[in-house]
Copies of this chain bind each other. A is one copy, B any other.
Amino acid sequence: MEHIDKLHGTFERRIADTQKPTVPTAVIKRLPRYHRYLGDLLADGRLRISSAELSKIMNVTASQIRQDLNCFGGFGQQGYGYNIKYLYGKISELLGVTQGFTAVIVGAGNLGKALAATRMFGRRGVTRLALFDVDEKIIGTEIYGIPVHSVDSLYDFCRSEKVDIGVLTVPKDAAYSVAKTLIYAGVKGIWNFANTELSFEDECVTVENIHLGDSLMTLCYEIKSKNDKENAEDSDESAEVEQ
C-alpha cells in the first residue's frame, strides 16, 4: 500500500500547482463509465488492472484511459498498473459520490415514480428527500418510501433542507417556473426531464437536460440508414444479375 500513499501525495500537489485543471469535457463525460466498470471489477474482488486490460473490457484504447486518468494526477504506478480500490475511490471523489448530495423530485407522474423507485440515486450517494406534486390525492402519502409534498412548499423545503439537486419531471409548460423556484431556493443542479432545454447562463446552477426522444430518433436514424444501405446493395446485385 506504500505506493498508494506516494501517489496520493502526488495528486494533492498537482491540484494545488495547476490553478486550473481544465479537464476536457470529453473526459468528464467518460468518468461515470470508468466508475461503473471499476465498481464491477471491485465487486468481483479484483485488486489491480492495467490500462491494456481495462481497454479490452471497456472497448476503448489503453492510450485514452491513461490520458483520461492523468488529467487528475497520477493514479497509477509504472510497472504495476492501477489499484482498483484506490482508483475507484478517487473517481468516486471526483464525481461527488462521497459528498452526500441531496435531491428532490418535482413531478410525481410516471417518470417521477420510476425515479422514486430506482436504486440509481442511492448507489451514487444521492439522497432523495421528497417528491413534490400538485395532485391533492397523493400529497401527504409516500411513494417507495419517499414523502410527497405540495409543490407550494417546494421553495421553503429546499431552502431549509439545503437541497443540492432538483429533478424535474413536470410538464413542459411548468418546467421554467419550477426551475426558477429551485434556483431561488439555492439548488445547485437541475436534472431536467421536461421536454425542453433549460439554460440559466449567469445563474450559479448547472443544468443537465435529458432528451430521451433524441436518443430514440438517433436509433431510428441508424436503423433507417442501415435499411437504406441494404436496399442499395440489393439493387446493385439485381442490376448485376440483369446484365
Contacts and interface: CB of A to CB of B under 8 A. Distances in A.
A95 interface: yes
Contact of A95 (B31, B117, B195, B217): B217
In this complex, the member of A35, A113, A216, A224 whose beta carbon has the largest number of chain B beta carbons within 10 angstroms is A216
A217 B35 contact: yes
Contact of A223 (B32, B101, B123, B210): B101
Helix, strand, loop or mixed for chain A's interface?
Answer: helix
Q: How large is the interface on A (under 10, 10 to 19, 20 to 34, 35 or more residues)?
A: 35 or more
Interface in A145-193: 164-165, 188-189, 191
A124 B216 contact: yes
Interface string A84-127: 00000000001111010100000001110110011011011110
A32 B124 contact: no
A59 B199 contact: yes
Contacts of A206: 219, 222-223, 226
Contact of A99 (B28, B213, B224): B224
Nearest to A92: B217
B210 A215 contact: yes
Contact of A220 (B99, B195, B199, B220): B99
23 contacts: A31-B221, A35-B217, A36-B213, A36-B214, A59-B199, A95-B217, A95-B221, A95-B224, A96-B217, A96-B223, A96-B224, A101-B220, A101-B223, A110-B110, A110-B118, A124-B216, A124-B220, A165-B219, A188-B223, A189-B220, A206-B223, A208-B218, A208-B222
Interface of A: 28-29, 31-33, 35-36, 59, 94-97, 99, 101, 109-111, 113-114, 117-118, 120-121, 123-126, 164-165, 188-189, 191, 195, 199, 204, 206, 208, 210-224, 226-227
